[in-house]
Amino acid sequence: MSAAAIPFDQRDGWIWYDGEFVAWRDAKLHVLSHGLHYGSAVFEGERAYGGEIFKSRQHAERLIASASMLDFEIPFTVEQVIAAKQATLEKNNLVDAYIRPIAWRGSEAMGVAAQGNSIHLAIAVWQWPSYFDPEQRLKGLRLDLAEYRRPDPATIPCKAKAAGLYMICTISKHRAENKGFADAMMLDYRGYVAECTGANIFFVKDGVIHTPTPDCFLNGITRQTVIELAKREGIEVVERHIKPEELATFTECFVTGTAAEVTPVGSIADWSFTPAAITHKLMDVYSAEVQPKKKAA
């Protein structure tokens, strides 16, 4: 059985759990944990390249900020989280890997209110080469248009990477895959283009990149990195509200995320795109950016 086919609760290795390493299969929580019933959990998705976790500090800071938005405090500092992630990577003898820190409310009380519940933090790492099928990725993803929309920021903590906010993403991705698509693009509550179920989205027209303003969805760390890289390469980037009917005017499209990295899109519903110079350039410069930099002697 390939590693990818092994259920996640049956794998070998070590998970960092509340400050200690526990055997992978023993990293458990109670079925009445508040995080499971009420979605009071936050997490990060990160990648390590060559033994170094890309933008580890930014991810650690966002994890703690996300918890604060859900009204709980992770009992570890940014520095401790950074060190724990690196230690977990090394404990599992991995150099190229995916890193998943997650924090949640425990099981002391069951009900909506849980001010006194303990806060837990666990960190797991594993090999995860590509979020999308490699063949699909080369051709450009086929995306469906999701039924669910990203909610009004007055109704959710949209700047938090919170577990509960991904429920409609899972539903939308399942429905897309059931119809033969790789993923789905979501609109926001106003009907503007928002993001995919686990990645931010970009479009190209006349040599200029256009991307939705992240005012009701997560401003991804990979998204921020790609915008910086594009500007470094002299490519203009416009962040604005994008109407779905504008998709017919764009020539290229790609998505970004820690798991997705930079992935070309071939179509969204009935709109078609051709991965070309700008998409390929950003794939290349992003791949170069994430590699550990050689330190001068």
- 106: how many CB neighbours lie within 10 A of its CB? 19
Cβ partners under 8 Å of residue 82, min gap 6: 56, 57, 60
Structure tokens at 291: 């590699």
Q: Are strands 261-268 and 271-272 parallel, antiparallel or unpaired?
A: antiparallel
H helix runs in 116-166, sequence order: 134-139
Scored b (16 or more CB within 10 A) or e, 160-192 reads: bbbbbbbebbeebbeebeeeebbbbbbbbeeeb
Of the residues 55, 161, 205, 294, which is catalytic?
161
Cβ partners under 8 Å of residue 14, min gap 6: 21, 22, 23, 24, 88, 91, 92
Rounded to 10°, the helix 78-91/56-69 angle is: 120
Q: What distance lies between CA 6 and its chain's CA centroid?
A: 22
Whether residue 53 contacts residue 99, with contact meaning beta carbons closer than 8 Å, is answered with yes
Coil, helix or strand for 287? Answer: helix
Could you say which DSSP state residue 293 is in? P
From the CA atom positions of the chain, what is the Rg in Å? 19
Given the structure tokens 């990818």, which residue do they identify?
4
Q: What angle do CA 96, 177, 126 make, to 5 degrees?
A: 20
159 belongs to the catalytic site: no
- In 9-118, DSSP assigns E strands to 14-17, 20-23, 41-43, 46-49, 52-53, 97-105
* Catalytic residue numbers, as ranges: 161
